[in-house]
Amino acid sequence: MKNYFLYIWYISAKDIKVELQRKELLLLTIIFSFTCVVIFNISIDVSRDSYIRVLPGILWVTIFFTSVLGLNRFLSRERDSGNFEALLLLPISRDILFLGKVTTLFLFMIILEILIFPIFTIIFDLNIIHTSIILVAVLATLGISVIGTIIGSMTSNTGVRETLLPILLFPLIFPMLLAAIEVTSSVLRGETWTEYNKWIQLLAVIDIMFSIVCSFLFTYVMKDY
Amino acid sequence: MIEKNSIEINNVTKSFGSNPILNDCFLSVRASERYVLLGSNGSGKTTLVKLLTTLYSPDQGEVIINGYNSSNHAEQIRTIMGYVGHNSLLYADLTAFENLRFFSKFYPHIDFDEQFEYLSRILNLSHLINQKVGKLSHGEQKRLSIMKAMMSSPSILIMDEPDAGLDVNSIDNLTEQFFPNVINGNMTVFLTTHNSDFALSVANTIGILQSGKIEFQAHSKDEFPELIDKYKSINESVL
CA distance A121 to A156: 35
Residue B88: list chain A partners with CB under 8 A. 82
Domain coordinates of chain A in residue numbers? 2-221
Q: Chain B residue closest to A8 (CA)?
A: B106
Q: Who contacts A160 (Cβ-Cβ below 8 Å, separation ≥6)?
A: none
Residues in a beta bridge with B210: B213
pLDDT of residue B99: 97
CA distance B92 to A55: 41
Residue A3: list chain B partners with CB under 8 A. 108
Q: Tell me the nearest-neighbour CA distance from B85 into chain A, angstroms.
A: 9
CA distance B138 to B147: 14
Residue B94: list chain A partners with CB under 8 A. 14, 17-18, 21
Residues in a beta bridge with A194: none
Q: How much helix, strand and coil, in percent to the nearest 5, is found in chain A?
A: 85, 0, 15
Cα dihedral A6→A7→A8→A11 (10° resolution): 120
Residues in a beta bridge with B34: B189
CA distance B28 to B32: 12
- Planar angle of CA A27, A31, A35, nearest 5 degrees: 170
In one-letter notation, the amino acid at residue B203 is: A
CA distance B190 to B140: 22
B56 Cβ under 8 Å from any chain A Cβ: yes
φ, ψ of residue A120 in degrees (nearest 5): -60, -50
Question: How big is the A-B interface in CB pairs under 8 Å?
Answer: 61
Write the residue in B53, B88, B94 that is nearest to A18 by C-beta: B94
Task: Write down all domains in chain B, each with its CATH number in brackets.
Answer: 1-80+155-239 (3.40.50.300), 87-153 (no CATH)
A224 Cβ under 8 Å from any chain B Cβ: yes
pLDDT of residue B219: 92
pLDDT of residue A73: 84
CA distance B128 to A88: 26
A79 Cβ under 8 Å from any chain B Cβ: no
Average pLDDT of the segment spanning A91-95: 95
Interface of A with B in 10-49 (CB under 8 A): 10, 14, 17-18, 21-22
Mutation target vs B (from A9, A90, A95, A97; most B CBs, 10 A cutoff): A90
pLDDT of residue B3: 56
pLDDT of residue B42: 85
Q: Provide the whole-model pTM.
A: 0.91
Beta carbons of B76 and A93 less than 8 Å apart = no
Query: For A36-74, b where at least 16 C-beta lie within 10 A, e where not — what string?
Result: bbeebbeeeeeeeeebbeebbebbbebbbebbbbbbbbb
Beta carbons of B106 and A91 less than 8 Å apart = yes
Write the residue in B54, B56, B91 that is nearest to A83 by C-beta: B91
Q: Give which of B81, B57, B60, B59 is closest to B7, Cα–Cα.
A: B81
Residue B154: list chain A partners with CB under 8 A. none
Q: Who contacts B58 (Cβ-Cβ below 8 Å, separation ≥6)?
A: B12, B13, B14, B22, B51, B70, B71
In one-letter notation, the amino acid at residue A150 is: I
Q: Chain A residue closest to B58 (CA)?
A: A224
B126 Cβ under 8 Å from any chain A Cβ: no
φ, ψ of residue B60 in degrees (nearest 5): -150, 150
B200 Cβ under 8 Å from any chain A Cβ: no
At A44-88, the pLDDT tens digits run: 876 766 778 888 999 999 999 999 888 888 888 888 888 999 999
Write the residue in B79, B86, B87 that is nearest to A91 by C-beta: B79
Q: Chain B residue closest to A77 (CA)?
A: B91
Q: Chain B residue closest to A224 (CA)?
A: B56
A218 Cβ under 8 Å from any chain B Cβ: no
In one-letter notation, the amino acid at residue B119 is: L
Average pLDDT of the segment spanning A15-24: 91
pLDDT tens digits in sequence order for chain B, 239 residues long: 455 789 999 999 999 988 899 999 999 999 999 999 999 888 899 999 999 999 999 999 999 999 999 999 999 999 999 999 888 899 999 999 999 999 999 999 899 999 999 999 888 899 999 999 999 998 899 999 999 999 999 999 999 998 887 888 888 888 887 887 777 778 999 999 988 999 998 999 999 999 899 999 999 989 999 999 999 888 887 65
Write the residue in B56, B89, B93 that is nearest to A86 by C-beta: B89
Among A120-129, A177-186, B204-213, B217-226, the least confident range: A120-129
B94 Cβ under 8 Å from any chain A Cβ: yes
Beta carbons of B98 and A86 less than 8 Å apart = no
